[in-house]
Amino acid sequence: MDETPEPELPANLKFLRLLVTVLAGTMIVGLLVIITLIVIRFRDKSTDFPDAITLPDGAQAQAFTQTKLWYAVVTGDNRILVFSRETGKLVREIEIKAE
């Protein structure tokens, strides 16, 4: 049988192969940690939206944001309507002047 021995790699090439392997492993572990943190973070957040929001006549919602004490609706006619989370009533209306 014809057996030819494989040539041995130079030391610097072995070191480079080790570095690439370690980098690949680090990237895989880092990606798994990031995915795990995102899943844990979003699972803990409670998004309790109001059941219904009564907007003034003619107002159409464009955006929504909320905190623990209030929630706000941005309307198509450049207004921000702030509602109390406890009562659900409109507590402030902010007119936005477009330039």
Radius of gyration of the chain (CA): 29
93 lies in a domain?
Answer: yes
Say how far apart CA 80 and CA 32 lie, in whole Å.
40
Assess whether 59 and 37 both reside in one domain. Answer: no
Query: What tens-digit pLDDT sequence spans the chain (99 residues)?
Result: 568 888 888 888 999 999 999 999 999 999 999 999 998 888 766 667 777 788 888 889 899 998 889 999 999 888 999 999 888 889 999 998 877
Q: Is 4 domain-assigned?
A: no
Q: Output the six-digit token pair for 9.
A: 């790699």
Q: Please tell me whether residues 40 and 52 are part of one structural domain.
A: no
Q: How many domains does the chain have?
A: 2
User: Given phi > 0 = left and psi -120 to 50 = alpha, else beta, which region is 66?
Assistant: beta
